[in-house]
Structure 1
Amino acid sequence: MDIDINTVRVARSRADCVLRPGEAFLGGGTFLYSEPVPAEVTGLVDLTGMGWEPWSVDGSGLRVAGTCTLEELLAGPGRLGASSEGPYRGLGIVGECVSALTLSAKVARTATVGGNLALGLPAGSMVGLFAALDAVAVVWTPGVATGSTGRAGSREVAVSDLVTGAGVVDLAPGELVREVRVPAVALGRRTAFRRASLTPTGRTAAMVTGRAGERAPRITVTASVAAPLSLYARDHDMLDRWIDWIGGNDGWYEDTHGSHEWRAAMTRRLAHEALEELGGAA
């Protein structure tokens, strides 16, 4: 850990979330504290002081705050999805997606949903979880909206579109992930999860999440690709053509945790297993 900064501010209001020169946002900080702080960062703004409710659910769906820890995600939405039937069965993959990060209990108590999304790492399994659930991220923008309210703005972006490359996220300077919203219809759909790594406790190298749909299951691939990819797969032949297309467009991600060829083979196998599981009624 190499922390060399001058200031830490605890944000307690929307106005406090406007970054000053040299500042960056701090969520759980588990990744930030594991890497040298970039030289241009001289101060941190701690978002945990905002006091956001970790999660809530109502008739419109599920809302998960950017500062919701992975432990809180497991204890809340993860618990709701424990039953294979009922209005929240889509959340049955929450536990598996959290476990895919191979976290210690200490890290799970601190690491946040918004932080995992904002990092944009291929193995960041919160992207695969919420992309499968057709979620949108509510992004707070630093600009001040016009009109009498004087409130800063916000925008929504599909979680499946939030990560655009390995470590590249559709967030402009000063923007932050306020919350993730999952529509009620997705909460009640059956979901599937598959994962592969080179070692039992290794970093996720291929991950497939899926959700049953009215016409076709939606299959989402992460970890083996730089940015999430999704397909409404009507059958296995269609799925094979899509996976061939990924390879034909040099879409497989490669690092020390898995080669192109191995990740492609694992993704194909896992995707077919997920599609098989999701076949039939939604």
Structure 2
Amino acid sequence: MDLNTVTDVARPRTREQLPVWTASDAWLAGGTWLFSEPQVHLTRLIDITDFKWPALTINETSLTIAATCTIAELNALPCPSEWIASPLIDQCCRAFLASFKIWKTATVGGNLCMSLPAGPMIALTAALDGVCTLWKADGGEQTVGVADFVTGNQRNVLAPGDLLRQIEIPVAALARRSAFRQISLTPVGRSAALLIGSLGADGTLALTVTASTVRPVRFCFAGIPQPVELRDAILHRIPDELYHDDVHGKPAWRKHMTLRLAEEIRAELQSVPRR
């Protein structure tokens, strides 16, 4: 869709070249949502692709995903064999249910910044203990966990003019055994519940609930809980008003599926033999 109110496109190549933010500005990376509907309040786009950030950077302790990394680039990452949680990458990428054209354009950072409950990159990076680096509008820098970055349906911690720079995932999280569950109201519909569990080498169980709730909810257990303990924890930590309500699923059904999928994950990880 043409954005016929936009009269200027800024293309900074360094942080120092970023223009002063105004209320009629928008960041441009993949643009798959930006160009999907009218944006009559916008007069300028700030294209961040000329920063030429490396899409993916691996070192001994972390995997760093640039905000401008596309879904296709992430999915094509050749992962070391010891990253036994790496199947989550493909599973979450495919939870988009998007065409190859979208995969080649849509960005990981864009998915986080849209902050939709069903955002699969939110689920992936939150479940893998991802930490966001934010470039603040005042020139500073801030780090925040992905699970805390998203605060509600299309809401997050970004203030006007703030920019998501990257997401850093610890290698240790990628070395955990994992289990993935996702369900939609229709065979090819938007995720109504997307849960990821992982089992640490010390026996700790982490469970991340997304899509069914308006923001990510993380659980951590010292060991694999009993079914009643898991169920009670979910009922206690996720009040009814936190479940999302839209055409893709009513809150009561999302709650039911959250409890069911969480138990499936618990049972699957309990059956995994210790290395």
Please report the TM-score for the alignment, with normalisation by the length of structure 2.
Answer: 0.92
Q: Is contact 1:2-1:37 (8 Å) kept?
A: no
- Quote how far apart the aligned CAs of 1:57 are: 0.8
The number of equivalent residue pairs is: 267
- 2-structure distance, mates of 1:252, 1:49: 39
The Cα offsets for residues 231-279 of structure 1, whole Å up to 9 and x where unpaired, read as 1144122210122225545221110000111111111111111122222
- 1-structure distance, mates of 2:112, 2:91: 17
The Cα offsets for residues 71-94 of structure 1, whole Å up to 9 and x where unpaired, read as 000011xx316xxxx321222200
Partner of 2:164: 177
Q: 1:38 to 1:230 in 2, by over 3 A?
A: farther
Q: Is contact 1:122-1:226 (8 Å) kept?
A: yes
Partner of 1:14: 15
- 2-structure distance, mates of 1:168, 1:58: 31
| Aligned partner of 1:216 among 204, 220, 224 | 204
Q: Is contact 1:197-1:205 (8 Å) kept?
A: yes
Aligned with 1:80: secondary structure? coil
- 2-structure distance, mates of 1:199, 1:2: 31
The Cα offsets for residues 188-218 of structure 1, whole Å up to 9 and x where unpaired, read as 1112211000111101111101221224210
Confirm whether residue 80 of structure 1 aligns to residue 79 of structure 2: yes
| Aligned partner of 2:242 among 243, 251, 258 | 251
Partner of 1:70: 71
- 2-structure distance, mates of 1:25, 1:67: 11
Q: Is contact 1:198-1:205 (8 Å) kept?
A: yes
Q: How does 1:119-138 map to 2 (within 5 A)?
A: 119-138=114-133
Partner of 1:50: 51
Q: Is contact 2:240-2:251 (8 Å) kept?
A: no
- 1-structure distance, mates of 2:20, 2:180: 38
Confirm whether residue 239 of structure 1 aligns to residue 230 of structure 2: yes
Q: How does 1:18-29 map to 2 (within 5 A)?
A: 18-21=19-22, 22-29=24-31
Unaligned runs of 5+ in 1: 144-151
Q: How does 1:142-161 map to 2 (within 5 A)?
A: 142-143=137-138, 152-161=139-148
- 2-structure distance, mates of 1:29, 1:243: 36
Identity of aligned residues (%): 39
- 2-structure distance, mates of 1:123, 1:248: 18
The alignment's C-alpha RMSD in Å is 1.6
- Quote how far apart the aligned CAs of 1:153 are: 1.9
Q: 1:269 to 1:43 in 2, by over 3 A?
A: same
Segment of structure 1 superposing worse, 60-69 or 236-245? 236-245
